[in-house]
């Protein structure tokens, strides 16, 4: 995932970048960094930790100037990546440059091999360094053209912000897999950010999304921005942004994430239960309660409850003093953390038939543990509904899913998973239902579900 933000032509740009990163902290908690441009010199501060941990008031104040770019790094399961914080700032033929990026390059290895064969050195594992090298080795006299040349050599799902002496370039890949939006700050400056929730905190107004395949060029002191279409666009926003990743208060491609999640819940309520699982019976008729697995399951559970007309209860309490399960590195800790984080209330659950709404099943271990806890709390029947299709394939476009052999849906049927997690019934959305709920007027990146790796 990761979050990126750019601030252009606004006083204290680094401070606004800081708040933008704060609003998008959910997209990455491992490392944080900001480059600011003061009198055409670029200064960078970056380190491991949350944005509030990396920056003190004092440090932030050293990052002066009206242009800044920032990054929250998402931890990649299982590997230490202490040196891999962004932005990556460097000096190249045309001067100083700094770059942030999210997403993933699929031809990274080939590009890197070709670069090192030609004399490049790599000091990190980040894709960002590839892009920097491609820009640096271009012989085009203008940065804009160098960036275009570089982008033509890479393949992947990414968003990029590149800050030079006087400009900030914002790029989204041809498919627009990751979101990137443009907003206008109150003082007239621009903001570019992965999610619109960053605009809300800063009081910025939404201008428009960066288009798939488009490069936007902001310039120092200039009130408008330039647009260049680099690639033929073929939009395929990542369905996972709606399902799980984005903050519910963000609006992606014109659609409220919260509303989309409610629609996924409604879709679950409206599906005929034979579709995926013969064990479910007619739950909607007899369930006493609908409960979400908080926090990401809440909107879908509300959608389900409203459609199915069953009472909604927040019967699992979440302790927010711990981080997200999805990010934790080892199986052993994750199990402990489920218990540290979620507590079902027997006062609400005892003797009840319940519909539990969650956003996804990855390895199955968390769901298994949740079902156990719900049983222990006295639930009579537990009907698990997942507001997404089965995850059968590894994501490679910027989301850190485990290898295929760890994905329970890659190996088991819905009924087998139901048995494994110990629920009375289990349902997923079908891919069609997902697409229909999100709006079938356009395409989505669905690789985790259908294995159609459209960027190769």
Q: Which residues bind a copy of itself (CB under 8 A)?
A: 19, 22-23, 25-26, 50, 52, 88-93, 112, 116-123, 132-133, 136-139, 197, 200-201, 247-249, 251, 256, 258-259, 295, 298-299, 302, 306, 311-315, 317, 319-321, 339-340, 343-345, 347-348
Which one, 52 or 413, has the nearer CB to a copy of itself? 52
Q: How far is CA 444 from CA 217, 238, 431, in A?
A: 27, 6, 10
Q: What is the largest CA-CA distance in the chain?
A: 73
Rounded Cα distance, 324 and 332, in Å? 15
Rounded Cα distance, 266 and 414, in Å? 20
Give the nearest distance from C-beta 285 to a copy of itself in angstroms. Answer: 20
Rounded Cα distance, 70 and 191, in Å? 11
Give the nearest distance from C-beta 6 to a copy of itself in angstroms. Answer: 20
Give the nearest distance from C-beta 263 to a copy of itself in angstroms. Answer: 12
296 marked as part of a ligand binding site: yes
Which one, 198 or 283, has the nearer CB to a copy of itself? 198
Radius of gyration of the chain (CA): 23
Contact (CB, 8 A) for 282 and 273: yes
Give the nearest distance from C-beta 219 to a copy of itself in angstroms. Answer: 23
- Sign, CA dihedral 47-49-50-55, equals negative
Give the nearest distance from C-beta 139 to a copy of itself in angstroms. Answer: 8
Give the nearest distance from C-beta 204 to a copy of itself in angstroms. Answer: 12
Cβ neighbours of residue 57 under 8 Å, at least 6 residues apart?
Answer: none
**Residue 2 catalytic?**
yes
Which one, 39 or 321, has the nearer CB to a copy of itself? 321
Order of all β-strands in the sheet with 353-358: 289-292, 353-358, 381-386, 425-428
Q: Name the region of 444 (left: φ>0; alpha: ψ -120 to 50; beta: rest).
A: beta
Catalytic residue among 2, 238, 280, 414: 2
450 marked as part of a ligand binding site: no
Rounded Cα distance, 123 and 331, in Å? 30
Which one, 311 or 351, has the nearer CB to a copy of itself? 311
199: phi then psi, degrees, rounded to nearest 5: -65, -45
Which one, 235 or 344, has the nearer CB to a copy of itself? 344
Rounded Cα distance, 61 and 321, in Å? 29
Which one, 55 or 175, has the nearer CB to a copy of itself? 55
Contact (CB, 8 A) for 273 and 427: yes
Which residues are annotated binding-site positions? Answer: 296, 358-359
Q: Which residues are catalytic?
A: 2
Q: Which residue positions form the known binding site for Mg(2+)?
A: 296, 358-359
């Amino acid at each position: 995932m990761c979050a990126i933000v750019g601030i252009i032509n606004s006083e204290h740009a680094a401070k606004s970048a800081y708040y933008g990163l704060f609003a998008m902290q959910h997209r990455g908690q491992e490392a944080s960094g900001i480059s600011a441009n003061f009198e055409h010199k670029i200064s960078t501060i970056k380190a491991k930790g949350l944005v509030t941990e990396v920056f003190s008031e004092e440090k932030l104040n050293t990052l002066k100037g009206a242009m800044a770019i920032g990054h929250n790094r998402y931890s990649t399961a299982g590997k230490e990546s202490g040196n891999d914080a962004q932005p990556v700032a460097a000096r190249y033929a045309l001067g100083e440059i700094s770059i942030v990026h999210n997403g993933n390059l699929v031809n990274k290895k080939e590009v890197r091999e070709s670069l090192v064969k030609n004399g490049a050195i790599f000091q990190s594992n980040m894709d960002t360094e590839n892009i920097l090298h491609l820009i640096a080795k271009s012989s085009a006299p203008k940065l804009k053209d160098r960036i275009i040349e570089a982008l033509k050599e890479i393949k992947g799902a990414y968003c990029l912000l590149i800050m030079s002496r006087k400009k900030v370039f914002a790029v989204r890949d041809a498919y627009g897999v990751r979101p990137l939006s443009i907003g206008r700050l109150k003082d007239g400056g621009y903001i570019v950010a992965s999610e619109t929730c960053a605009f809300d905190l800063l009081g910025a107004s939404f201008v428009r999304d960066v288009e798939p395949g488009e490069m936007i060029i902001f310039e120092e002191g200039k009130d408008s921005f330039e647009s260049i279409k680099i690639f033929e666009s073929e939009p395929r926003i990542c369905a996972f942004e709606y399902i799980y990743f984005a903050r519910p208060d963000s609006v992606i491609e014109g659609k409220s994430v919260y509303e989309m999640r409610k629609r996924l819940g409604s879709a679950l309520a409206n599906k005929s239960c034979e579709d995926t699982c013969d064990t479910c019976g007619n739950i909607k008729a007899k369930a006493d309660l609908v409960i979400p697995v908080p926090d990401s399951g809440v909107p879908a559970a509300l959608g389900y409850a409203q459609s199915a007309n069953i009472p909604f209860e927040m019967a699992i309490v979440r302790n927010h003093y711990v981080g997200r399960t999805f990010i934790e590195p080892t199986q052993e800790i994750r199990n402990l953390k489920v218990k540290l984080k979620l507590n079902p209330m027997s006062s609400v659950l005892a003797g009840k038939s319940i519909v539990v709404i969650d956003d996804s099943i990855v390895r199955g271990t968390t769901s298994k543990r949740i079902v156990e806890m719900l049983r222990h709390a006295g639930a009579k029947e537990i009907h698990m509904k997942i507001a997404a299709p089965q995850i059968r394939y590894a994501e490679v476009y910027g989301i850190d899913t485990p290898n295929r052999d760890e994905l329970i849906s890659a190996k088991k049927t819905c009924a087998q998973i139901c048995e494994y997690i110990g629920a009375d019934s289990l349902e997923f959305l079908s891919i069609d239902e997902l697409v229909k709920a999100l709006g079938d007027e356009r395409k989505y990146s669905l690789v985790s579900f259908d294995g159609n790796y459209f960027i190769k």
